[in-house]
Amino acid sequence: MAKCRDKRLYQELMGKTAYIFPGQGSQFPGMGKDLYDRCPGAKALMDKADAVLGFPLTQILFEGSSDDLLQTRVTQPAIFVVSVAAALELPRPDMVAGHSLGEFSALAASGALDFEDGLRLVAARAEAMQRCCESVSGTMAAVIALPDEEVERVCAGIPAVVPANYNCPGQVVISGETEAVKAACKALKEAGAKRALPLPVSGAFHSPLMEPARESLAEAIARTPFRSPFCPIYQNVTALPSSDPETIRGNLLRQLTAPVRWTQSVRQMRRDGAEVFLEVGPGEVLTKLVQRIQ
């Protein structure tokens, strides 16, 4: 996680810098405590989050258990707040991207979203996704060591399951109805996958089963002001740079039911000159994925 430190250290980095923001699953108890204690700007932001959300997020972060942080209504705002707080202490990047939920952090860090507006939007997204998970039986699974095209071919032959996250070469996450995902895992192993592992998630994220959540989120996105970011954001849906507020708004809504094209996004950022990738937020999941992609 980026910490509060001398900004000149980062300004000395050569070449274009891309900030990448993690998504759900990167959380851990105590995350953000170092920022809160050492950086006045981060402390003010986290305290503001408590007031906006109407519950003591910082207390849960610093004193809660892993189980407390597993609640979607807590997890998503928590990662967003810690990631944006970390970005406060860094100079402006040349480009940004975020994995799933992390795209909201990237938008706030690049000036496209006001912090409070972004936090309310993330909270609305979390609530909509939680309701959707409770009403539809869905799950996800990680497919290891099989070409993307083969994963797509197998999924195309099984109704109600789709590729959801293109994380890195040889790692694709599939999503869909629980029984369909089980059938797909069996077929993918028969097709040559080294592993097809069910994930401990509560729903079929980034699949058509999230359509009810997308409809709910549409209202929240429609009433949220968006601005042009100070640098391009590479969005999950297209893996291309966006700066137009209306394009960003539309892609953000599509993201709930469309795959996260992380491999393609990182490759496009590299083509556009990114030489340094800095993960801003909890964990190092994206850093490891970027290393595999490169």
DSSP 52-78: HHTS-HHHHHHH--HHHHTSHHHHHHH
Q: CB 3: neighbour CB atoms within 10 A?
A: 12
- Confidence at residue 5, expressed as pLDDT on a 0 to 100 scale: 47
Cα(249)–Cα(235) distance, rounded to whole angstroms? 10
Nearest Cα neighbor of 141 from 163, 168, 170, 169 is 163
Work out the average pLDDT over 93-114: 98
Q: CB 36: neighbour CB atoms within 10 A?
A: 21
Nearest Cα neighbor of 89 from 34, 26, 29 is 34
Q: Are 197 and 158 in contact (CB under 8 A)?
A: no
**Mind listing the domains of the chain with CATH numbers?**
7-134+207-293 (3.40.366.10), 140-198 (3.30.70.250)
Where does residue 14 rank: exposed (0-12), middle (13-18), buried (19+ CB within 10 A)? exposed
Catalytic residues: 100, 206
Per-residue pLDDT band for 14 (boundaries 50, 70, 90) equals low
Cα(44)–Cα(287) distance, rounded to whole angstroms? 28
Quick check: helix, strand or coil at residue 39? coil
Q: pTM surpassing 0.85?
A: yes
**pLDDT tens-digit series, residues 131-144:** 998 888 899 999 99
**pLDDT tens-digit series, residues 182-227:** 999 999 999 999 999 999 888 999 999 999 999 999 999 999 999 9
Quick check: helix, strand or coil at residue 142? strand
Work out the average pLDDT over 28-56: 95
